[in-house]
Structure 1
Amino acid sequence: MTSELRVDHCPGCGRIYQINLRQLCANCAAAEDALMALMEKELRSNRKLTTEELAERVSERPEKIRAWIRKGKLKVYDYPNLADACDLCQAPIRKGKLCQNCSTRIRGEVQHAYEQDRLMQERKRRDNSYLNKR
């Protein structure tokens, strides 16, 4: 029985590490924990911080904070101004990947496309039945 050591390159620093649930090496996991603690401390002192203000206070990229919000690592329900960004228009969102406007627009476009397809199929059937009656 051979036991295979599963390793990968850490996405944070590039070092080789043994694969774990966090998908980070020990050093990057500790740095992430320290950053999370610092963010929680800042948010406790001012729960109305925006994502950009929090990023500035902890010297981190807003994109990383948004990614943590999207993954559920940073909960937004206690912090009214923390938000992710819509994948299409970059409007602030609190959950999901699209804002309400983009979601509604896409739904409408899909419904319109289905309706156009249905009308085209109906037209083809009607034309075929006309040709068969001759």
Structure 2
Amino acid sequence: MAELKVAHCAMCGKVFQVNLRNLCNECAEIHDRRFEAVDRYLMKNRHATTEQTAEATGVPIKQVREWIRQKKISLAAHPNLTDVCDLCGGPSRTGHLCAKCSYRLKSDIDKMLAEEQAERERKREHSYKLKGQADN
């Protein structure tokens, strides 16, 4: 006998038969209508911001940003759309971090690697070789 897999809908919490979208049929339709509304709005308003898009379509800004992050909405075609930086909360058009946080993180990593290299050099200077040990 086939096993029926059920789950709770991610949007409304209703029990439904599991599918790839993790949404019940009603919420899947709502989701699709929302995406179509955003898509239509952006086709007519290419320079709209994320906030303007959410307000004009009635779609939660969190949902619009999720579609941006999932690359369902192209940032290349819409120069004023942004996601939110995971570190500082500022606007980001490149992945999960804004340019400022990305640069700061890279700088911190480079500094840490340089400190580790300096520590290895310092230890190497203070070490000595045992007699009879091959030179490296």
TM-score range, shorter chain: 0.7 to 0.9
Paired letter, 2:9 = C
How far 1:31 sits from its partner (Å)? 0.3
Aligned mates of 1:47, 1:82 — CA distance in 2: 9
What's the counterpart of residue 44 of structure 2? 45
Poorly superposed stretches of 4+, deviation over 6 Å: none
Unaligned runs of 5+ in 1: none
Residues 51-94 of structure 1 show CA distances to partners (whole Å, capped at 9, x for unaligned) of 00111112232222111100122222222211112212233222
Aligned mates of 2:124, 2:4 — CA distance in 1: 62
Aligned mates of 2:71, 2:101 — CA distance in 1: 22
Identical columns (%): 38
Q: Please identify which structure carries the higher helix content.
A: 1
Aligned pairs for 1:1-134 (under 5 A) are 2-129=1-128
SS at match of 1:69: helix
TM-score, length basis structure 2: 0.84
8 Å CA contact 1:70–1:95 kept in 2: the answer is: no
Which segment is superposed worse, 91-100 or 106-115?
Answer: 91-100
Unaligned runs of 5+ in 2: 132-136
